[in-house]
Amino acid sequence: MRRIFLQFIFGFTMLALLNASGVASAAVTPPPSSEPTTVQECKQGGWKNFGELFKNQGDCVSFVVTGGRNLPSGPALH
């Protein structure tokens, strides 16, 4: 799970760098996401569907609301 998360972050970092350099972003395809993209995916125990990435629902919601800037703090990342 940690590897997938790091690939996800790396993909979006590369996308941001390419956009900053003026290269068309359509040429870059981010890796498939195994992280939540909506707050609804975190609710009613949904945060548990992402393995040990999140320690609780609030951690998951915070990740989604900040667009991934607030990194998960679950045991998978320690």
**Tokens 């956009």 sit at which residue?**
19
pLDDT on residue 75 = 78
**Tokens 């972003």 sit at which residue?**
25
Neighbours of 8 (CB within 10 A): 17
Dump pLDDT digits (tens) for 21-65. Answer: 565 555 565 555 689 999 999 999 999 999 999 999 999 999 999
Instruction: Assign 45 to helix, strand or coil.
Output: coil
Kindly state the tokens that stand for 52.
């040990």
